[in-house]
A and B are shown apart, each in its own frame.
Chain A
Amino acid sequence: MPKVSFTPNIQRHVLCPDTEAPGSSVREVLDNVFAENPRARSYVLDDQGGLRKHMTIFVDGETICDRVRLSDRVGPHGMIRVFQALSGG
């Protein structure tokens, strides 16, 4: 089952522990994660379900291509890492 980890920076707003969830695409896996942790959804995705502007997702070390539909494939032992840009002040 794919594994999912979230940026440490999100943790002070909403607890997102490392987890596993079924699915063969980023969308499917994250939908299952957010079904268990619904508050986290809006921290990662915008109102249309796309990836927020300054967020990024890696699958097995590669940045995903489809930030809108999150259709990038994930293998049964894939590793999804949810990151954000470090900026601001």
Chain B
Amino acid sequence: MSDNLHVATRKGLFSVARRSGTWNIEKVDFLGDNVSLTLTDRRSGRHYAALDHGHFGVKLHRSTATGWEEIAVPTYPPKPEGLVENDIWGRPIAWTTTRIWAFATGGADEPGVIWCGTLPGGLFRSGDHGESWEMIRALWDHPKRPMWSGGGADLPGIHSIIVDPRNSKHVWIAVSTGGIWHTEDSGASWTQRGEGMRAEYAPPESTHDPIAQDVHCLVQCPASPNRMWVQHHNGIFVSSDEGRNFTEIKSADPSCFGFPVAVHPREPDTAWFVPEIKDEKRIPRDGRLVVSRTRDGGKSFDVLTKGLPQQHAYDLVYRHCLALDETGNRLAFGSTTGGLWISEDQGDSWASVTHTLPPVYSVRFS
């Protein structure tokens, strides 16, 4: 059970810890800077923090015995002279790391391996704890990759990376917008997955095209890896065959729309969501902040409210801002309006840690 949280925000990285049964902010790093995502590598004990300095670009820092050190950031290869590649708005896509949007550690048999997903769609792999990065060219050069497009962001991006606990060479990624992709050879070749997802916002001809799907978050049950859950722009989808086929969960109270999803580490039918009004409003329904939980694979949902604000709450919870610890009992989430809540009982009740943080971009047990 983890007693530590990393909360990445628009204005710094907050370390939150449980002491004598109470959660408090213990430390702030990078105060004033935009911290977009963190990773804790439990194999090495190292922490990673992605920073976006705006004018000065995206940077990556790694923990040391005494603090943090800046390390190499994933870098795009030279764009071929004369290549014209535009986004769906007709603007040129710059081959440069615009945001670090996903991290995953490699398997236990791959010490030092870290995966990193970025905007505008590049996937990178480090074999040396982030000292250097190699772009996965087979994915970047895939003939269908130019069909990826921006969703909420202007540019397409990889926001979910899952390394198969049974075989480290098997990796899934999810793209907003570009659906789900899978490799069985550590990235040397890729195939599209995600049949059955539905994009009602797309033209009728491509509503069911797997590449048109705006997956907001993809997770896999570690103890039952065939089970994958997707929070999609269009709703909630569940797979029982490693993401080959998905079934839509058409009714989830109070809404099917949201960004994050978390799945219990040992109970594949148990998953949590933070529902919002779909889709241009993106606020909790009726100003009531709730977490929804299914224990039966999506047949029914509990609407969890105890300890959460039920009046005039306008918190939006981004895709990396719902965390579940390895026991499956502790959850934490942070919001765009600076709220941070923790549950010790699978979401039945919540305690507010603070409601005055900067906008929260990532919450991870560390």
A contacts, CB < 8 Å to B = 9-10, 13, 39, 42-44, 46-48, 52-55, 84-85, 88
- Contacts A48-B78, A54-B54 hold; do A39 and B70 have CB atoms under 8 A apart? yes
* B95 contacts the other chain (CB 8 A): yes
Question: Are B55's CB and A55's CB within 8 A?
Answer: yes
CB contacts between A and B, total, < 8 Å = 42
Question: Are A13's CB and B53's CB within 8 A?
Answer: yes
Question: Are A47's CB and B97's CB within 8 A?
Answer: yes
* B173 contacts the other chain (CB 8 A): no
Choose among A10, A39, A42, A54 the residue with the greatest number of B CB atoms under 10 Å from its CB.
A42
Closest Cβ of chain B to A63, distance in Å, is 16
In the complex, what residues of B have CB within 8 A of residue A48's CB?
76, 78-79, 94-96
* B56 contacts the other chain (CB 8 A): yes
In the complex, what residues of A have CB within 8 A of residue B53's CB?
13, 43
In the complex, what residues of A have CB within 8 A of residue B59's CB?
13, 42
Cβ contacts B59-101/A at 8 Å (1 or 0 each): 1000000000010010110110000000000000011110000
Closest Cβ of chain A to B35, distance in Å, is 14
In the complex, what residues of B have CB within 8 A of residue A84's CB?
55-56
Question: Are A13's CB and B78's CB within 8 A?
Answer: no
- Contacts A47-B75, A48-B79 hold; do A10 and B56 have CB atoms under 8 A apart? yes
Q: Roughly how many angstroms separate A85 CA and B56 CA in the complex, as a whole number?
A: 11
Given contacts A47-B94, A53-B55, A54-B55, 17 further A-B contacts (CB under 8 A): A9-B55, A10-B56, A39-B70, A42-B59, A43-B53, A43-B56, A46-B57, A46-B94, A47-B75, A47-B76, A48-B76, A48-B79, A48-B95, A48-B96, A52-B57, A55-B55, A88-B55
Closest Cβ of chain B to A21, distance in Å, is 20
Q: Roughly how many angstroms separate A47 CA and B79 CA in the complex, as a whole number?
A: 9
Q: How large is the interface on B (under 10, 10 to 19, 20 to 34, 35 or more residues)?
A: 10 to 19
Closest Cβ of chain A to B137, distance in Å, is 15
Closest Cβ of chain B to A6, distance in Å, is 11
Closest Cβ of chain B to A57, distance in Å, is 13
Question: Are B56's CB and A13's CB within 8 A?
Answer: yes
B contacts, CB < 8 Å to A = 53-57, 59, 70, 73, 75-76, 78-79, 94-97
- Contacts A47-B95, A47-B97 hold; do A42 and B79 have CB atoms under 8 A apart? no
In the complex, what residues of B have CB within 8 A of residue A52's CB?
55-57
Give 12 pairs: A residue, B residue, CB < 8 Å, sorted on A.
A13-B56, A39-B70, A42-B59, A43-B56, A46-B96, A47-B95, A47-B96, A48-B79, A48-B94, A52-B57, A55-B55, A85-B55
Closest Cβ of chain A to B36, distance in Å, is 15
In the complex, what residues of A have CB within 8 A of residue B95's CB?
47-48
In the complex, what residues of A have CB within 8 A of residue B56's CB?
10, 13, 43-44, 52, 55, 84
Closest Cβ of chain A to B202, distance in Å, is 30
Q: Which 3 A-B pairs have the closest CB atoms?
A: A47-B96, A46-B96, A54-B55
Question: Are A43's CB and B57's CB within 8 A?
Answer: yes
In the complex, what residues of B have CB within 8 A of residue A44's CB?
56
Question: Are A42's CB and B76's CB within 8 A?
Answer: no
Q: Roughly how many angstroms separate A39 CA and B53 CA in the complex, as a whole number?
A: 14
In the complex, what residues of A have CB within 8 A of residue B73's CB?
42
Q: Roughly how many angstroms separate A55 CA and B94 CA in the complex, as a whole number?
A: 16
In the complex, what residues of A have CB within 8 A of residue B54's CB?
54, 88
Q: Roughly how many angstroms separate A80 CA and B78 CA in the complex, as a whole number?
A: 26
Q: Roughly how many angstroms separate A13 CA and B33 CA in the complex, as a whole number?
A: 10
Q: Roughly how many angstroms separate A89 CA and B89 CA in the complex, as a whole number?
A: 27
In the complex, what residues of A have CB within 8 A of residue B79's CB?
48
In the complex, what residues of B have CB within 8 A of residue A10's CB?
56
Q: Roughly how many angstroms separate A9 CA and B53 CA in the complex, as a whole number?
A: 11
Closest Cβ of chain B to A64, distance in Å, is 16
Closest to A10 in B: B56
Closest Cβ of chain B to A56, distance in Å, is 10
